[in-house]
Amino acid sequence: MRRSRRRGDDAQAVLETALVIPILLFLICNFIAVMVQVTVQQQLNSATALAAQSRFQAPENAVDAAGMHCCGASGATLGTAGLPTGCRYAAESFYGTMTTYIGLLHWQTATLCTSGGDSGNATTRPVPPIAYPGSPANAEVSCDIGSRKAGGVVVPGYVDRTLNPPSGLDVVTCSASASLDFANTPLAWGVFWTPTLHAHSEALPPPFRQ
């Protein structure tokens, strides 16, 4: 009788431990996964912010000559011939900054450079940006770098009428999306979610360009 009670206590202790340890490990895995997600999100924000800003580091109205290319994260080469040089600068900054945790990310590809667009207001209807002619469609980052007018003049960005109503300001926007996949890491044991991260940044032309 006594022996069986002791056995019962031991079995209960083993059972409790067997229940608690996986729960603890599950919590730790998810805690670390959230930390990684926050860090990757910050890097994505930083990379898109630098990309948007770099569009203005290129000479105004400069256009990439034939044979120019850039720098996909997935190993794809993005042809930039005929596109504004600021577009390649934006991509180079994005890919140059987004160098860590690449193995965990599944990118949602988009058109590298889009053209124009208008946020709209009470009197002007919103106009979505359109793909810049000849821009590669398999980029991990997408930047609205502006439109090319007659005579080769490139107008930066799209018109954001919320910034300087009613006429608005020409701003450059860059965005990127990726899902964070822990499947190939030890965290896969306890992390069953695949968050999708989005980053969106805007940059205004510097004062000497406004």
State in angstroms the smallest separation of the CB of 169 from another protein. Answer: 20
Query: 61 or 119, CB closer to another protein?
Result: 61
Task: Let me know: does 144 contact 176? Beta carbons within 8 Å.
Answer: no
Query: 167 or 209, CB closer to another protein?
Result: 209
Q: How far apart are the first and last CA of the chain?
A: 90
State in angstroms the smallest separation of the CB of 43 from another protein. Answer: 5
Query: 19 or 24, CB closer to another protein?
Result: 24
State in angstroms the smallest separation of the CB of 112 from another protein. Answer: 16
State in angstroms the smallest separation of the CB of 27 from another protein. Answer: 8
Footprint of another protein on this chain (CB under 8 A)? 6, 9-10, 13, 17, 21, 24, 27-28, 31-32, 35, 38-39, 42-43, 46-47, 49-50, 53-54, 56-60, 62, 65, 67-68, 85, 89, 92-93, 96-97, 99-100, 206, 208
State in angstroms the smallest separation of the CB of 81 from another protein. Answer: 9
State in angstroms the smallest separation of the CB of 165 from another protein. Answer: 28
Query: 34 or 127, CB closer to another protein?
Result: 34
Query: 57 or 164, CB closer to another protein?
Result: 57
Query: 104 or 161, CB closer to another protein?
Result: 104
- Rounded distance, CA 135 to CA 34, Å? 35
